[in-house]
Structure 1
Amino acid sequence: GSYITLSHVWGKAQIITTTTSTLAERIKGIAMDSLSNTFRDAVELARQINVRYLWIDSLCIIQNDLADWEKESAKMGSYYSNALFNIAAVSSSDGSGGLFTSRNPREITPCPITVVFPSKDSIRDGKKIEGFLRASSGWDPVLQVAGFQRPPLWQRAWVLQERLLSNRLLMFSSMQMSWKCTQEDASESVPEGSP
Structure 2
Amino acid sequence: MSNLQTLQQVAQTRRSIYSLNSQLPVAKEEVVKLVEHAILHTPSAFNSQSSRAIVLFGQEHHKLWQITEDTLRDIVNDDEKFVPTKQKIDSFKAGAGTVLFFEDDSVVKHLQSQFAMYADKFPSWSDHASGMHQYAVWTGLASLNIGANLQHYNPVIDKKVASTWDVDSNWTLVAQMVFGGIEQAAGDKSFEPIEKRLKVFG
When the two structures are superposed, what TM-score results if normalisation uses the length of structure 1?
0.24
Greater fraction of residues in helix: 2
Give the TM-score of the pair, scaled to structure 2: 0.24
| Bigger relative contact order (CA 8 A; separation at least 6) | 2
